[in-house]
Structure 1
Amino acid sequence: MSRIYLKIKIKADICTVFDMARDIDLHQKSTFKTGEKAIAGRTTGLIEEGETVTWRAKHLGFYQTHTSRIINMDKSYQFTDIMVKGTFKSLKHQHIFSQEGKCTIMTDIFEFESPFGIIGKLFNRFFLKNYMKNFLLERNKLIKTTAENNKNLIEE
């Protein structure tokens, strides 16, 4: 299983950052390069515990769909989503938030496993892990910029 661990400091309150991290509309803005679109389940607004969202996007030249469910949530401090249907053999994404003075520390722990045995493991090691890391960094960059500038890019 591959694991990506990211931490970012954001000059905004924890509630704002937490809500931005679970905002379907903001996520779609952060993934414009892949044309990611919420097509089923929660398709707009803030996703809640127990809800699902199905995404459709073009990754690596192929259209793919991926359905995630929020399996637990402690508002403003953490939420976890898992893949319930999609291309990966397994996928779990923990979103963790802590307040540090006037800043929020946002931590992502992203664990995934590709199908196809040894070929999948090699693909993970030499390409997919870096691809997914960059995908998450783009998302986090937009959350940081939006929160720090106190702009509502969602309505633009």
Structure 2
Amino acid sequence: MPKIELTTIINAPIETCFDLARSIDVHIESTKQTGEQAVAGRTSGLIELGETVTWRAKHFGMWQTLTSEITDFDKPNFFADELVKGAFKSFRHEHYFLARNGQTLMKDVFIFESPYGILGRLFNRMVLTKYMTSLLIKRNGVIKAAAEGVNG
């Protein structure tokens, strides 16, 4: 299964970064290019342990729906969301936060699997890993800008 790991240094308190990373509203802002909207479950505010959100967005020219659930939660250090239903065969997105020297180190670990066996694995290698990395970098940039704007 492909694994994407990203680290972002943010000049803001850990609590601010943690809350922005689980904000439905910030997520929508970070995915404007896909027209992403929360259409069921938690549709605004801060998602919590055990809650789900269903997203509708346009990826690769097609409207897709995906539901994920917050399955692990340790405020303000860690949370994880996992696929309930959608185009992936599976995914787990782990969000780690570490306060150090007045900054927050935010780390994403995104592990995913596509359906369709070898065709899915080829798609992962040739297209999807790069695409998902780009989406996560954009998302982290929006979180960083929001956190540093609030605390800057």
TM class by shorter chain equals over 0.9
Match of 1:78?
Answer: 78
Query: How far has the Cα of 1:102 moved from its partner?
Result: 0.6
TM-score (structure 1 length as normaliser): 0.96
Whether 1:55 and 2:62 are equivalent positions in the alignment is no
1:84-139 Cα shifts (integer Å, max 9, x gaps)? 00000111000000001110000000000000110110000011000000000000
RMSD over aligned Cα atoms: 0.7
Matches within 5 A, 1:6-155: 6-150=6-150
Query: How far has the Cα of 1:72 moved from its partner?
Result: 1.1
Query: How far has the Cα of 1:64 moved from its partner?
Result: 0.3
Count of residue correspondences:
151
Match of 1:154?
Answer: none
Query: 1:150 aligns to what SS in structure 2?
Result: helix
Which runs of structure 1 show a deviation greater than 3 angstroms over 4 or more consecutive aligned residues?
none
Residues of 2 paired with 1:90 and 1:67: CA distance? 11
Query: How far has the Cα of 1:15 moved from its partner?
Result: 0.1
Residues of 2 paired with 1:2 and 1:9: CA distance? 24
Query: How far has the Cα of 1:149 moved from its partner?
Result: 1.5
Residues of 2 paired with 1:91 and 1:63: CA distance? 19
Residues of 2 paired with 1:80 and 1:88: CA distance? 16
Query: 1:19 aligns to what SS in structure 2?
Result: helix
Residues of 2 paired with 1:66 and 1:128: CA distance? 16
Query: 2:115 aligns to what SS in structure 1?
Result: coil
Query: What stretches of structure 2 of length at least 5 have no aligned partner?
Result: none
Residues of 2 paired with 1:99 and 1:8: CA distance? 12
Aligned residues with identical type, % of pairs: 54
Query: What stretches of structure 1 of length at least 5 have no aligned partner?
Result: 152-156
